[in-house]
Chains A and B, each alone.
Chain A
Amino acid sequence: MTHIEVGDDTGRWPAATRPGAAAAATEADRPSRPRAWVVLTVTLLLALLLLPLVPLVLASLADAYFYPQVLPERWSSRAWQVVLDPGSGTWAALRDTVTIGVSVAVLSLVVAVPAGRVLGTRRFRGRRAVELLLLLPVLVPAVAVAIGLHVVFLRLGLAGGIPGVVLVHLVPATPYVVLLSAGVFANAELALEEQARALGASAWQAQRHVTLRLVAPGLAVAALFGFLVSWGQYVLTLVVGGGRVVTLPILLFSTASGGDASITAATALFHALPALVLLVVVSRVLGTGAFASVGGMR
């Protein structure tokens, strides 16, 4: 953390020739070498964001972890044994949560990408109304529509099973994926145009290849969001699944209602961990830049 080199624009503007270099204040705040306080503040911020997970980890590894113990007096693997036990239902819940999450991610791409492409690249009348309508499921509280959704799904014969739960998760996931992919296409199309012009706008097939390559990372992030929306869903799963579909959030809620802090903490971490790993892997593979598409959300 002592010496941090930045390569972004120091080379482009040699200090002496850079316009405005006369102003000392301007010179001082160039982003080339972050000052100690920036590094310190960022470190502190990250520590604050990760701090709440510490007591969860401690509680999951403790037995009779009561006030005022900071570190557990009695360490114990009991909670993890219970949670990881093949008969405890955790693994079945993990399997169902992953199945549902992956289905939601894939189907939301299928449903939402055409709309995202149109919204990201074309101007047409009624666009604003469409955007608002598509945004509504994100905005309107799940509690407010859960009961209505239950009835609609019962009528469609889709309540009480995984297909119904996938479909109901698509309702909040689709808007995110539409908006994210709209941003992706809006950005990609610009680059595409530039390239097409430079290359003399040759084959349509080639353009498609270029476009696909350009949008793939962004769409992967959009699919990740769809997956995560499904991963954390409680109310909609409860209502449409009718209890028969036991995902990790359902398991976590029923566990938390019992007040066994160690098992609740272990279940919570078991639920959070796959999502965390996925996020890190995706951002490593695609680079943090892929998340730039989130900025297209407007």
Chain B
Amino acid sequence: MSGRHPAPVRPRWRTREHIRTWAALAPSLLLVGVLFGGAVVQTILRSAGLLGTGAGGTFSLAAYRTLLTDPVVGRSLVLTAAVAVIATAVSVVLGIAAALLLHRLGRGRKLATTLFQLNLPIPHVIGAVAILALLGQSGLLSRIGAQTGVVDGPAAFPAITFDPWAIGVIVQYVWKEVPFIGIVALAILAARGDELDDAARTLGATRWQRLRHVTLPLLLPGVLSAAVIVFAFTFGAFEVPLLLGPTSPTLLPVLAHRRYIDTDLAARPEAMAISVVLTVVVIAVVLISAAVARRSIRSEAA
């Protein structure tokens, strides 16, 4: 249509198109830019001691200096990053695998897909409560173990909640995010999968070759953007590690919250500084993954 107009670009028309484009974008951009942008600016000003209860009112990087020199924060950052990376990677692998399997189902596919996405709308908090009730040392599995004589008391059941490796947190994230990744992958497969797969088959590609060179590249862009959302969430969420995570080292969002509700008001700039660090890391990961995706798509095309 208009976009493929063959005639040389007429400036007046371009301007109108331009205005229409930005007018359509304006409500969303204003909402996000003003409210969210305003909040981010607030957080940054507070982290630098310029605003807020417990702040001096003059520019100071003391909060950041404290973070840098505090080994507890360092350990937390490492654990938080590890949890987010592992949870995302496992969710992506299992999500894709689940999508491939579901895609191969025939008549039961519709029902299976509905069941598969059932936990999508369940809030994370409920997931955390449920995982604790299932996998805690006195949870349902441990109880079944005790009744069948496999486990001798709660302490003999593996400690995977409140554990130093935050396994319980990772399990909860994987439980919640596998369907998310899976649905994204399934949607792509449903839209394009069969057609390309058949084409590759006609060319005599083996199943592995088709998976490696057709299906996975097809899934990559969509799954990658979903994975970025999962990473961002697992890196910054506070409810799940609060309910399932270890006391120390704790995950960064919990640490930020702890500093924020500290009865010592002077700890607040530190909470804000941790928030800024979380934000910067997430944005960096998004930009890097976008660059990687662009490059891999370009090299795939070449």
Contact = CB atoms under 8 A, between A and B. Distances in A.
Direct A–B touching, Cβ under 8 Å: yes
Contact of A291 (B28, B187, B204, B222): B187
Interface in A254-296: 256, 261, 264-265, 268, 271-272, 275-276, 278-280, 283-284, 288-289, 291-296
Contact of A152 (B35, B203, B221): B35
Interface in A200-258: 228, 231-232, 234-235, 249, 252-253, 256
Contact of A141 (B105, B186, B282): B282
B154 A67 contact: yes
Given A34-B104, A53-B130, A265-B129, A70 B143 contact: yes
Contacts of A13: 198
Given A34-B105, A46-B115, A49-B118, A272 B123 contact: yes
A49 B35 contact: no
Contact of A5 (B106, B118, B124, B235): B106
A193 to B, nearest CB: 7
Interface string B145-170: 01100000010000000000000000
A133 B33 contact: yes
Contacts of B101: 38, 41-42, 45
B130 A142 contact: no
Given A67-B154, A139-B283, A145 B147 contact: no
A253 B78 CA distance: 28
A23 interface: yes
B133 A56 contact: yes
Contact of A49 (B28, B178, B257): B178
A168 interface: yes
Residue from A152, A168, A235, A271 with most neighbouring chain B CB atoms (10 Å): A152
Nearest to B287: A132
B25 interface: yes
A147 B46 CA distance: 10
Interface stretch (A76-84, A85-93, A113-121): A113-121
A144 B105 CA distance: 42
Interface residues of A, number: 114
A115 B107 CA distance: 38
Interface in A118-177: 118-119, 122-124, 128, 130, 132-149, 151-152, 167-168, 170-171, 174-175
Interface residue tally on B, bucketed by range:
35 or more
Contact of B104 (A38, A115, A265): A38
Interface string B170-202: 000001001100011111101100100010011
A284 B111 CA distance: 10
A138 B106 contact: no
B40 A148 contact: yes
A141 B236 contact: yes
Nearest to A1: B108
B275 A145 contact: yes
Contacts of A171: 31-32, 35-36
Contacts of B275: 141, 143-145, 147
B286 A132 contact: yes
Nearest to A13: B198
A260 to B, nearest CB: 12
Given A141-B238, A149-B35, A295 B184 contact: yes
A182 to B, nearest CB: 11
Contact of A288 (B114, B133, B188, B276): B114
A59 interface: yes
B204 A23 contact: yes
A212 B139 CA distance: 50
A165 B51 CA distance: 24
A56 B228 CA distance: 31
B207 A55 contact: no
Interface of B: 1, 3, 18, 21, 23-25, 27-29, 31-33, 35-36, 38-43, 46, 98, 101-108, 110, 112-127, 129-131, 133-134, 138-140, 142-144, 146-147, 154, 175, 178-179, 183-188, 190-191, 194, 198, 201-204, 206-207, 221-222, 224-226, 228-229, 232, 235-239, 243, 253, 256-257, 260, 272, 275-276, 278-279, 282-283, 286-287, 290
